């Protein structure tokens, strides 16, 4: 079955919202999952929604978890992800770190650090590059 990117994003958003995820977080996570599928990281795409249902229902992740800056040392920022969904937590942390021209360090294992080509070494989410569309999303 083929879906347009818009249809896939809407599907992911609605599934997450049905699990109690606020609309803004659901939108960001769904966009990340669809982008991961689009560039071929299908293990980190929409197929992960089944696992999200489990971790949200078991309380292992919080549907409304939002990152909080807990330490600011200028060039180094530390965040508590409050057990939020990693794609959302990572996106917010990256955006804030880029604006502050700082590096980041996760205080909780809500997402894994990955090297970044930027000079300050902020965390980077996976699946965010350019590439082919091997998952059939267009």
Q: What is the residue-wise DSSP string for 51-95? A: HHHHHHHTTSS-TT---EEEEE-SSEEEEE-TT--HHHHHHHHHH
Residue 66, in any domain of the structure: no
Residue 49, in any domain of the structure: yes
Question: Which of the two residues, 105 and 57, has the higher pLDDT score?
Answer: 57
Asked whether the predicted pLDDT for residue 130 surpasses 70, the reply is no
CA torsion through residues 16, 21, 27, 23, sign: positive
- Domain range for 31 is 5-57
Q: Which of 25-34, 61-70, 117-126 has the lowest mean pLDDT?
A: 117-126
Residue 92, in any domain of the structure: no
- Summarize the confidence of residues 95-113 as an average pLDDT: 58
Residue 44, in any domain of the structure: yes
From residue 34, alpha-carbon distances to 1, 4, 21, 80 in Å are 15, 10, 17, 26
């Amino acid at each position: 079955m083929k879906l347009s990117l818009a249809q896939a994003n809407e599907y992911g958003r609605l599934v997450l919202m049905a699990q109690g995820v606020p609309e803004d977080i659901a939108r960001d996570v769904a966009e990340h999952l669809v982008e991961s599928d689009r560039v071929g990281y299908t293990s980190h795409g929409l197929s992960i929604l089944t696992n999200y249902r489990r971790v949200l229902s078991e309380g292992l992740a919080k549907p409304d978890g939002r990152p909080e800056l807990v330490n600011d040392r200028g060039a180094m920022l530390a965040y508590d992800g409050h057990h939020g969904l990693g794609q959302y937590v990572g996106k917010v942390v990256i955006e804030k770190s880029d604006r502050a021209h700082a590096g980041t360090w996760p205080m909780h294992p809500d997402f894994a650090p990955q090297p970044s080509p930027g000079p300050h070494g902020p965390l980077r989410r996976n699946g965010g590059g350019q590439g082919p569309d091997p998952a059939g999303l267009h």
